[in-house]
Structure 1
Amino acid sequence: MRISCRPRSALSGCFPAASHSSGEAEQQPASPSEIDKSPQAGRRYVKRLVKILLLGLAGERASPPLLKQDLRSNPGQDWTARSREEFRRHGIYSNVIKGVRVLVDAREKLHIPWGDPANQSNGDKVMAFDTRAVTVVQGMVETNVFLDYLPAIRALWADSGIQHAYDRRREFQLGESVKYFLDNLDKLGEQDYLPSQQDILLARRPTKGIHEYDFEIKNVPFKMVDVGGQRSERKRWFECFDSVTSILFLVSSSEFDQVLMEDRQTNRLTESLNIFETIVNNRVFSNVSIILFLNKTDLLEEKVQKVSIKDYFPEFEGDPHCLTDVQKFLVDCFRTKRRDQQQKPLYHHFTTAINTENIRLVFRDVKDTILHDNLKQLMLQ
């Protein structure tokens, strides 16, 4: 498989070259200038191109963990020291500081008292963190800055008031990986800390604009287009609709009791269903394969033991504490949003993004599905 990644400027329409560390992108597909020199080869490339659109409610979605996992889990490809260091500063350190700020803010708004009143000063310090500072460039937090905040973060995470706020996290938007990193502060505080593969898969970096990933499977060129899922980013989606072959629609299966970060009122699953309904009934996609990813199965399995989905979706029938019943309901919710049931089948996969083997098997099936659905067109061309 050949893989390359390049960001696209959504406003200018140009495609600036992206720098790659060793092992990240082994080969580039034919450049526009090379295609221009051979118009016939260029036309064949465009006709054979399989364009995959990556959509869905994001909140804090970056290049999704499952996408990162697929691109990085091929033999001979691994995270370089340079890319690990980037994720340490850009993903993990910033995730921790942002997560603690959300918890401190939620504690105050939910009127939860401090376990130790002395932690008010630690809370004030974290809330005063300046994202515009010279040491914080494009979301990157340098090691010395993080270590300066680490004692305050450690004290806050140990406070019963913050823990109480965390227990009520369904009432506000908090990244699922925040607890994982806060539980591992000793590791993160080491001077020579480099993220493990699991650390990287759990890190979140918001998608801004449009990002394209070019790769090749069985001599068939693929282009995966990833756009941000926040409400402010969705206006750019229409720019990517042209010549789409398949849509991968991402949903967090465990968020049926959570609300949007944007308004703190709208149910996240309801929002995903509304977006899906708009996409799946768009005439532009009448002949497009749609693959539904219901991610975070591990969190869903844990949640259904404690939370009844029926409290949020009264139409649910079955055992709210049975994972199979809840999963069937979720799939049916999305399937019934499609008005024309004669369209191509709706494929679905329940995934756990940090489970390497699960993602490898799912993506193998997805690739086979996409290739199979487009086999006739590819052969005719």
Structure 2
Amino acid sequence: MNPLRDDHGSARCVPGPADHDPTPVNPTRTRRLCIVGGSTRDPGGVESFCARALEALNTHWTGGEAFWVPADSAHLSAARLPRFLRALHAFRRANRVPIDVLWLNVANLPDLLFVPLAKALGIRVLVTLHLGANSRLQRSGVLRWLSRTLAARADRIALLFDGQDAEIELPANVPRSTIRTFLPPESFAPPREAATGPELRLIHAGRLSEGKGSLAIVDLCAALDRAGIPFTARIIGRGDEALMEALCARIETHGLESRVALSDWLDGPALIAALGGADILVHLSRLDSFPLIVLEAMAAGTIPIAIDMAGVRAMTTAYDGQLVAPDAAVSGAEAWLESNDLADLRRRGAAMGARVREDYSWAACVATLAAAIDATQPAAGA
């Protein structure tokens, strides 16, 4: 089943422009907010972010009505271009009942093409960039200039965390707000009983790629195996064909077939249950500064190990977790795991999870986002 299609409660979660007209059935609400972002074919953090924001807004926002048009821009190629073009058309078609604000969640350069389209339609634009300093859009001078130029046409930028604007290059003339992210409703359920088994339980989840650390967790498992540390690991998600072949080959090379399990992407309760069934989230990504999966894991009581970037630093400073240097990520993670007592890690995880769940209520997150929406006014000369 399409993990974005049917299980987001009463909110109207639009599965994709190729499937349905995203115009809501009740266009008479005060304002219309269109969320754009994510890809139905390759679900990951941005897709989860959009789906939860949609449900939270339609549950707690009294200022209007929200709906979602996936951008379908992930891994864009000639074969996938028609899906992206259909998404652009779906957004334009949805404006038959005028859209007041586009909230664009950007994961790549094609996503930013929604900005000039929205401005041409007279729609105010709020942009959230799901990027870190090591993303391709920031490493390449040409792509950085293009993304900054397109983002400069937005009316407001919604930062994912305080300090994101110090990590990535943003247009200086666009006003900014800081919002919060949304945990899934399953995160607020009572936690399961504490584990007592002797094996360290590792997990890695999301859209799989080398840059996101999907091969690095196998190298970490190999290092733990050589050190004689009992463990199991689970890798959850989808990647392109080359990545999946490399992942399977690396697991086989290290003889880890009985210790490392590969799973297709899990949605909603199943993913949260998987996170809650692990002790450590291994997220050695060089791309994601503020990865949603890290916050989800923390809420589930699973301590993260991540490469030191501004967003995850903000999370681990506020709660718990371990940061490692990008040039020694695997060795740093191994050393930290070897130096910690498993029972103590589990106690720390439980305490951390309780704090995160308390701090990230949907009502509080929607109030922060609503303030940014209200502040999104047409830029001078727009």
Tell me if both proteins adopt one fold, taking TM over 0.5 as the criterion: no
> RCO (CA 8 Å, sep 6+): is it higher in 1 or 2?
1
Provide the TM-score with structure 2 as the length reference.
0.31
Provide the TM-score with structure 1 as the length reference.
0.31
Query: Which has the larger Rg?
Result: 1
More helix by share: 1
